[in-house]
Chains A and B, each alone.
Chain A
Amino acid sequence: MDITLNHYLAVAAILFVIGLTGVIVRRNLIVIYMSLEMMLQAANLTFVAFSRFNGLLDGQVFVFFVITVAAAEVAVGLALIVALYRLKQTTQVQDLTTLKF
């Protein structure tokens, strides 16, 4: 069986939905964060797949940028979560409702 573009896209879609489900159902901030990263990688996968099947390098170049930005974002995000944990002694989202009226 040949691996076609649709297979790649299907995998990416499954990854994205798993990530989204994680974001919606999980309560722990770190897990939500990991699920977010998974959604990001699903997007990266579609980039690479399109790049390969279109014979262009633009998508792969873009993925490098996304990975770089994601790394920086992880650094900031994890630092925020650590700071939040120090403040509240919890990383469960249902406990973080300070801005609610």
Chain B
Amino acid sequence: MEHYIAWSLLILPLVASVAILLDLYRKHNEAVFASVGSASLCFLIALLIAFGKIPEPVAWTWISFPGFNVEIGMVFDSLSKGMLLIVTGVGLLVHIFSIGYMANDPSRGRFFGGLSIFMFSMTGIVVATNLIELFFFWEGVGLSSYILIGFWFQKDSAALAANKAFVCNRLADFGFMTGILTFWWLTGTVSVRPEVLAQIQAGNLLAHSWSFIIAPLPLMALGLFAGCVGKSAMFPLHVWLPDAMEGPTPVSALIHAATMVAAGVYMLCRVYPLLILSPHGMLVIALIGCFTAIFAALIAVQQNDIKRILAYSTLSQLGYMVMAVGCGGPDAAMFHLSTHAFFKALLFLAAGSVIHALHDEQDIWKMGGLGKKIPLTSWTFGIGLLALIGVPLFSGSFSKDYVLSIAYAYHPGSQIPYFYWVGVFTAFLTAFYMTRLFVVTFFGSAHVPEAEHPHESPRVMTVPLVILAVLSVIGGYSIAGYGIKDYFHTWSVDQLQAIGQVSNTGAPEIDWILEMVVPFVFVVFGVGLAYALYRNRRTDPIHLAILAHKFYFDEFYDRSMVGGQQMAANFLAWIDSWILDGFIIRGTAYFSVGLGELLKLFQTGSLQGYAFLFSLGSVVLIYFTLFWH
């Protein structure tokens, strides 16, 4: 019986999405009921699983060859239980919020179908027992992300953004597949069950592998990390996430802020016991995460679209998480992931509420003075903001300080804890751009007449906001409940000490001033600076073109990748039309035609001529046959 309940965690949203796909996409109320109903039941099941009422179901075999076994199963350990609660909990709240937000959309049935596919795939990623199963669901979230970014496909920008997200993820998945294959090659299994990973880490790598390529372990670590780079939008492939804001705001909250983009981080934590076998891989992960954190925060300072600011903030926070994994603190990464899921979902949903109130206005310079007019949205947004910038006692401060303390202990090649200081400076930037957003949007008076009379959102939208606001405050006190710290403790300390990367991750060598006071001072400085600069402003006093244009990355990719591809395509088209079609195909044809033109000159039409030549030929043949030796 328990097995059926466990499996229905995956099957319910799948059934809902299939039902919507087949029939309900025209019947909006039934579609909403099916989707929200399945999400609620999933949350209940996740609660039962989290409290240990449901055991792991027996896995069934999917593919079985000698040396290659893939099962479909579920793994319930403290890592997946915590993630499961976040995914289904935030997912349910976003479903409920969407009932109000999408109430007037003519094709909201399709929207809820996409959400259900997402819930199916995301829970699948969380409970996957092996990398092949995980990859299957990984592509599933990619698909639902594509569907939902392009939900308003009538807009060219939305359709293009969906394509961009898909292409970026495809690119990364190539690396991910390389990582999975190398993983299988090194270990002889694709399983990521903790007990299997423990065995492998204890020295059961396959010996034959080492002779073939120079660095199999870094290849595996970086291959798996490439998957994370795509899904979590790390530095070289970060460009798709801001564009993904073309999707409806609840999608941005659920998929592109709280859960799906965190799947990369979650996957890294899953395979963490093998990642730490490659110190160089870990260093690359930390560097990329750290760079993304500060890079995205810098861009966010000069953006004007409320959702894009939040998107760059998401990039920056994901950078924190990846940096924490790379620095040897997966528990810090998961902790930050969970608090970030709450407050970033809250911020996005509150931004959605603002956009809803102003009839689809997203430019913060066309808002202003919303604080008094839509108080509930403003208050919840404010709470999310305080949690994000890491004001003490809000959830974000606990997780961010923990990440920073992990980063402080890891500084290979230098005496200066550079990851820590970049993290602290990013915290300053975060405080700056979020305060800028808040002051411009909610303080002062309306900048344009259209923003004079906003209306507060309906109850179905504000209740999820309030729940998330509460979670954003108290989420930081619950890490002991997840048990994640203990979960990773068994891996991390001994291993990292053995490698000699970190002196002692169990108790990082950081005092409380550096861990809590210094970041807070930077945050206060950022808030104060932004408040002084942006109070009562109607236009942006700072103009930094390079930041406003996102370091010209889109232009750069347009020139180098798209342009380069265009050049290659032109070259191949030239080869096709001139060498293949022109020379080989048409050349052969023209050669035959020409030869025929030449030979038809011999057809004189004179029968006697033919007869004469024929007899002459016969005579010559006979002569040679008889007398030629």
Interface residues of A (CB under 8 A from B): 20, 23-25, 27, 32, 93-94, 96-97, 99-101
Contacts and interface: CB of A to CB of B under 8 A. Distances in A.
Given A20-B615, A101-B600, A25 B608 contact: yes
A23 B608 CA distance: 7
Dominant secondary structure at the B interface: helix
A23 B603 contact: no
A24 B612 contact: yes
A99 B607 CA distance: 11
A26 to B, nearest CB: 8
Contacts of B600: 101
B603 A24 contact: no
A94 B606 contact: yes
Nearest to A29: B607
A48 B600 CA distance: 42
A85 to B, nearest CB: 16
A97 B605 contact: yes
Interface residues of B, number: 10
B611 interface: yes
B616 to A, nearest CB: 10
Contacts of A96: 607
Contacts of A27: 608
A100 B606 CA distance: 9
Given A23-B608, A25-B608, 20 more contacts: A20-B611, A20-B615, A23-B611, A24-B608, A24-B611, A24-B612, A24-B615, A27-B608, A32-B607, A93-B606, A93-B607, A93-B608, A94-B606, A96-B607, A97-B605, A99-B605, A100-B604, A100-B605, A101-B600, A101-B603
B260 to A, nearest CB: 72
A27 B611 CA distance: 12
Interface string B606-622: 11100110010000000
Contacts of A94: 606
Interface string B573-607: 00000000000000000000000000010011111
A94 B607 CA distance: 8
A20 B610 CA distance: 12
A25 B600 CA distance: 24
A33 B558 CA distance: 81
Contacts of A32: 607
B622 to A, nearest CB: 12
B479 to A, nearest CB: 93
Q: Which 9 A-B pairs have the closest CB atoms?
A: A100-B605, A97-B605, A93-B607, A24-B612, A101-B600, A23-B611, A24-B608, A24-B611, A20-B615
Interface in B383-407: none
A94 B604 CA distance: 11
A100 B615 contact: no
A25 B603 CA distance: 18
A81 to B, nearest CB: 13
